[in-house]
Amino acid sequence: PLKTYEVYEEGLEKGYFCKDKEGKEFVGAVWPGKVHFPDVLNKDARKWFGSKYKYLLDQGIEGFWNDMNEPAIFYSEKNLNQVMTLLAGAAMLGIVFNQGCFIFGVGLTSPGEASIITTTMPIWVMLLAAVILKEPITLKKCGGIVLGASGALLLVMTGGNSGLAGDNPTLGDILVLSAQLSYALYLTFYKNFIKKYSVVTLMKWMFTFASVAIIPVSIPVLAHTDWGNISPDEAGGIAYVVIGATFLAYIFVMIGQKNLRPTLVGMYNYVQPIVASLVGVYLGLDHFTPLKLGAVALIFGGVYLVTISKAAKTTTDPTA
């Protein structure tokens, strides 16, 4: 607030504004910008603020419209800083480290090994949820994860070996595993935080922070890309990855985070091999066998067991 307004200066001098727990004038934001709020619980402050209408009444004004007279606040400066820090952390764990480690890791190891490592993610979610959110580790939950992992591994192992191998499989495997740990930590640590804000707000700020982190290291690659020789099929593939596999996927995951437990959200990771198999069959690159149908049954059976497993009675908000 600027010290150029007589009413403000007087209220500040007499201590008539609301204070925070540290005894400093509380600064909030509404549509005019940053403001102080009169302390209506203070009798002297109420009398002082009401007296400001006398001058207007003396001028012949007969009525007032007090805009923003309802209890409302857009944000406080201190809270905004905390929220932005948490959003930046969510962007790093859920997007930058998760996607970055996985993409670089797959390039260094084989697709088969990377697929197998991704089946560990629900396990990490269950363990982290037990530590952070005090979610109980039950037999149904463990059994569901084992069934789901078995089904996913069956689909991966029966999908054939591409014969591709990276230059550094060990480092690649570590990066892929880091991606699973990062996303598992995001699902558990930010469970209650995600519920507080709209999907649009979360997507806007998380992808903004992720872009700020990724664009600087991507500039050399972007500068040396021959954009003129990108075919329509390649452009369509890029658009699908950006819009479908990233933007829409994150929206749907966030909706799931708002309504489901982290362990159950992680369990749906096992559905990815099913989707890959269906796409392969559709494109004529794969075919269904009784073994694959059994793997699908194991995955959905595992998801069902985790769904009906016991949840924590209360959850602790680690981001509060």
Q: For residue 311, what pLDDT is reported?
A: 66
Position 166 scores a pLDDT of: 63
Query: pLDDT band at residue 165, thresholds of 50, 70 and 90?
Result: low
CA–CA distance, 260 with 268 (Å, rounded to integer): 11
Q: What is the pLDDT of residues 100-152, one digit of tens each?
A: 998 888 888 877 777 778 878 888 888 888 888 888 888 888 888 888 888 77
> What sections of the chain are H helices per DSSP?
6-14, 43-58, 77-91, 98-108, 111-118, 121-132, 139-157, 169-189, 191-196, 199-223, 232-239, 249-259, 262-267, 272-282, 290-308
Residue 320 has pLDDT above 50, yes or no: no
Coil/strand/helix, residue 76: strand
Beta-sheet pairing, 75-76 with 28-30: antiparallel
Residue 318 has pLDDT above 50, yes or no: no
- What backbone torsions phi and psi does residue 295 show, to the nearest 5 degrees? -65, -40
Range 17-37 average pLDDT: 85
The residues near 280 (Cβ < 8 Å, ≥ 6 apart) are 159, 286
Confidence check: pLDDT of 317 > 50: no
- Burial group, residue 50, by CB count within 10 angstroms (0-12, 13-18, 19+): exposed
| Lowest-confidence region among 30-39, 145-154, 173-182, 286-295 | 286-295
The whole-number average pLDDT for the span 161-167 is: 58
Using the predicted structure, report yes or no on whether residue 256 has a pLDDT greater than 80: yes
Distance CA 206, CA 213 (A): 11
